[in-house]
Amino acid sequence: MTESLAAALQRLHGAGGKAFVPYATAGLDGVDAALLVGYESAGAHAVEVGIPFSDPVMDGPVIQEASGRALESGTTPADAFALVQAAREAGLSVPVAFMTYLNPVLAEGVEAFLDATTGCGASGVIVPDLPVDEAGAWLAACRARDVAPVLLAAPNSTPERLAAIAGSAAGFVYCVSTFGVTGARHELSTSAEAVVGALRPITETPLLVGVGISTPEQAARACGFADGVVVGSALVEAMLAGDREETLSRARAFGAAVDGASGQE
């Protein structure tokens, strides 16, 4: 049986390792079971699969474009669940977390969505437009099904909000590295380290940095203070160009950088 997101990342964290979590948009041309398995071969410790939504408020131009193309081709949450199921059948053994928005979850029905999540072999969900203070019913439903509710912590989160996030998140806390939407950045924001530093004393949940991790060098620097990174736009950009080999080449470079940073904190 595949190890859950929470168990796998906690085990890695306890061993001093750093996590590399690459992202792919379900329904984008070329995103298939083989790509997800390829991510694992590239060094991924978990995979994040995006369920496209028409108003992806957290996402920048690259992932917005990917979501738009996926929706134009008729992609539904059922297709995302089928993608993960197919990847499991193809040999994917690392945990999977879905990333989507509240509207698709409610359209499916919370319980039905979570049942489909576990049924296809995923064990985490990220819902960036659901704030922690409105997430009580969602958190309870996730706990009842052993699904890790990954929560976001932003640079402007108050100490009180950070405490609530620390007490409620599972799998990992998604530490947003900068203000704004997802996408490439020339430099790693210093605010990322501040978010991780504020959370470190109050939670044992792994702290991963995402949004703006654009190069392997930035990933390695982030792993100097965080427990790993989530990489999205830098990989999706190559998929938008129809270049699977470039996508996997970039994933391997990120994986090697994160692996090299393990034990260096």
Q: Which of 183, 219, 191, 205 is nearest to 66 (CA)?
A: 183
Q: Which residues contact 116 (CB under 8 A, 6 or more apart)?
A: 77, 78, 81, 108
**pLDDT of the chain, 265 residues: tens digit per residue:** 689 999 999 999 999 999 999 999 999 999 999 999 999 999 999 999 999 999 877 777 899 999 999 999 999 999 999 999 999 999 999 999 999 999 999 999 999 999 999 999 999 999 999 999 999 999 999 999 999 999 999 888 899 999 999 999 999 999 997 654 444 444 555 788 999 999 999 999 999 999 889 999 999 999 999 999 999 999 999 999 999 999 999 999 999 999 999 865 4
SS (H, E, C) 189-205: CCHHHHHHHHHHHHCCC
117 near 98, Cβ under 8 Å? yes
123 three-class SS: coil
Q: What is the pLDDT of residue 10?
A: 97
Q: What is the pLDDT of residue 12?
A: 97
- Let me know the angle formed at the C-alpha of 259 by 263 and 179, rounded to the nearest 5 degrees: 90
End-to-end CA distance of the chain: 31
96 three-class SS: strand
Q: Which two tokens stand for residue 54?
A: 């028409």
- Residues designated catalytic: 48, 59
> Structure pTM?
0.94
Distance CA 75, CA 56 (A): 15
For 139, phi and psi rounded to 5 degrees?
Answer: -60, -40
Distance CA 92, CA 110 (A): 26
